Amino acid sequence: MARGRAGRVAAATSTGGVAGKRSGRVGDSAVIGAGTYADDRLGAGSATGPGEAIIHLCLVRSALELVGRGFGPSWVARHVLAELERRLGAPAGLVLIEPAGRIGSAHTTEAMAAAWRSEKTGRPLLVG
């Protein structure tokens, strides 16, 4: 994800695949609205995990709707991942950024690395 100086956002997600997947299965967590989404009014986000479950809840778009209603991106990331796990038993990870620049990252997987950089810090901040 990226946020420009004027607050415009963009998102792109590349799927790493799922261990033990069936031959011919196409990774689907990068589906727009489900695993990746950007809207200048709401923010941008990227999810990782089992694409079928992420698609079922349209995870990133749902998360950004909450961000757009004024909830902080860190809280939203934790909230929607808890809902994903409660409803579908699926662990996942999520990174969000709002147009004002606040970032939220959460995961219910064993581990998920995330990093971001700003002009202020000049160096990447790694969160694991």
CA pair distance 100, 9, nearest whole angstrom: 10
What integer pLDDT is reported at residue 49 of this predicted model? Answer: 87
Quickly state the pLDDT bin for 114 (edges 50, 70, 90): confident
Q: Among 15-24, 28-37, 65-74, 98-107, whose mean pLDDT is lowest?
A: 15-24
What integer pLDDT is reported at residue 118 of this predicted model? Answer: 73
Quickly state the pLDDT bin for 32 (edges 50, 70, 90): confident
21 HSE (CA, 13 A, CB side)? 15
Question: Could you tell me the pTM of the whole model?
Answer: 0.85
Coil, strand or helix: which one is 115? strand
The share of the chain scoring above pLDDT 90, in percent, equals 53
Cα-flanking dihedrals φ and ψ of residue 103, to 5°? -115, 145
Task: Flag whether pLDDT at 97 surpasses 80.
Answer: yes
What are the residues whose beta carbons fall under 8 Å from the beta carbon of 20, sequence distance 6 or more? none
Task: Flag whether pLDDT at 125 surpasses 70.
Answer: no
